[in-house]
Amino acid sequence: MSGSQSYISFYPRGNKRRFNSYTDYFRKKYGERVQKVSINAGFTCPNRDGTKSKGGCTFCLNDAFNPSYCRPEKSITTQISEGIEFHKKRYRRASYYLAYFQAYSNTYAPIDLLREIYEEALAYPGVIGLIIGTRPDCIDEQKLAYLKGLSEKHYISIEYGIETCYDNTLLRINRAHTFEEAVFALKLTAQYCINTGAHFIFGLPGESEEMMLEEARIISGLPLTSVKFHQLQVIKGTPIEKEYLDHPSDFHLFTWGKYLEFIIKFLEYLTPCIMVERFTGEVPPRFLASSPWEKLRNDQLATIIEKKLEELNTWQGRLFRQ
């Protein structure tokens, strides 16, 4: 059996790519690209408003990744309309959209308010579903039961900010929840047959490369539909910037070359059943206190990663063991 045949036969998803592509899932399901449109609905977080803590996550500055059209003073409908126009310049072929509630914790509100904003988004022509970014401690069975009802007609995914599998790190970055809480939220969401996503950051303070690679095994055991991986980028004006400047040796910040090697290893140990949405994060250089990578977009970096997988004749899950 050739290398090409081995990785194709290994995958359960029926395509020839060397990783389980989230984008390709939608292209196959709907026959064309499905574009996410970000929304800032004006939420906060329990580690910002004093419920659990104040100041938010030490690495977080929403302005660094929120598109310019995302402003909470605008209606949901207006943000979707402007977002579609924004993305048409780059992705002209998209005619289906996912409303992505991105900024802060988008289930951190009473159910009546959530119902109002979610259903306004779903009423927009071409919107086929919701991606709801939130924290593991901001979900409950009432909200899940409501979202399960929506999922009968729409694509619904709850994207949990988990960031790391290690409680010491979660405490250090002021997440104000534990990894056990994240696992509980994922399992509960899966019980309601709702798609689950998760966000993880590589390079958080105190974590070695070996610790980060071990997370591939841990993540593979979670009931996840999809994952997003980002390298840590130290943002100006955040608490983590001061920590980085005061204790740089505590940080394992990747150069692009080292990250390329790392993410290939990580993918080899990650179950092929979880779809990968992103390998890297993208922040405008003006926000960065750490050294920026080459001036390449996320999709260009993903192409380089995929070419490296081909060059090494490897693939997501090659070394995965149940």
Distance (Å, rounded) from C-alpha 293 to C-alpha 302? Answer: 14
Which tens digit of pLDDT belongs to each residue from 29-45?
A: 988 889 999 999 999 99
- Asked if residue 156 lies in contact with residue 197, where contact means CB atoms within 8 angstroms, the answer is no
pTM of the predicted structure, to 2 decimals = 0.92
The full set of domains in the chain, from first to last, is 17-311 (3.20.20)
The residue behind tokens 């605008």 is: 74
Average pLDDT, the chain: 91
Per-residue model confidence (pLDDT) at position 5: 47
Give the residue-averaged pLDDT of 270-292. Answer: 88
For 206, residues 6+ apart whose C-beta sits below 8 A from its C-beta are: 168, 169, 172, 250
Per-residue pLDDT, 4: 46
Q: What confidence tier does 16 reach under pLDDT thresholds 50, 70, 90? A: confident
For 132-189, what is each residue's pLDDT tens digit? 999 999 999 999 999 999 999 999 999 999 999 999 999 999 999 999 999 999 999 9
